[in-house]
Amino acid sequence: MHTRLFVSIATIAALASALVLVGGAGARSSATVELVAKMKGSNESPAAPASNTGRAEIKLNAATGKVCWEFYVTKIDGKPNAAHIHKGAKGVSGPVKVPLGTTYKREGCTKAAKALVRSILASPGAYYVNVHTAKHPAGALRGQLAHG
C-alpha cells in the first residue's frame, strides 16, 4: 500500500514538474532578449577612426517582432544620422536587415519580421549594428551582436 502511494505521489510530482518546465519554456520563448554590441570605428569597412566608440543594447522579442535599441555613443566624429542592424560576419559589410528608425535616435523601438528576429537571436554574431554619419556614410562605428 505504501509503495503504491509513493509511486502515485512520485508520478504526480513528475507530471507537475514537466508542466512547469513546458510552461517556463513557453514563457522564455515569448520573452524579450537583450543583445549588446561594443562598437568601434576600426570595426567598420572602410575603417573609421578607432577613437569612435560606443555600445548598443538591442532588445528583441521573437513572439511580437519588436526590436528596441539604446545607443551609448562615447565618441564619434560627426553627427549620427542613421543606425541599422546589418547581416554580416566580422569585417564583412552586409545588407541592412533592421533600420533603427528613419533617422538616428539614441533610443526607440520598431517592428521586424518574426522570422528575422528569430534568426538574429539564433545567431547574433552573424549580425552587426552600426551608426552612420555624413562623414562616414558606410558607418562611423560598428559592433557584432552578442549575448550580454
Q: Are residues 107 and 122 in the same domain?
A: yes
- pLDDT value of position 148: 83
Q: Are residues 79 and 45 in the same domain?
A: yes
Q: What is the count of structural domains for the chain?
A: 2
Q: SS3 for 99?
A: strand
Q: Are residues 62 and 18 in the same domain?
A: no
CATH number of domain containing 60: 2.60.40
Q: Are residues 53 and 121 in the same domain?
A: yes
Task: Compute the distance between CA of residue 93 and CA of residue 74 in angstroms, rounded to an integer.
Answer: 23
Q: Are residues 99 and 51 in the same domain?
A: yes
Instruction: Tell me the per-residue pLDDT of 64-93, one tens digit each, with 9 for 90 and over.
Output: 999 999 999 999 999 999 999 999 999 999
Domain containing residue 133: 32-147
Q: Are residues 17 and 67 in the same domain?
A: no
Q: Are residues 36 and 22 in the same domain?
A: no
- pLDDT value of position 29: 54
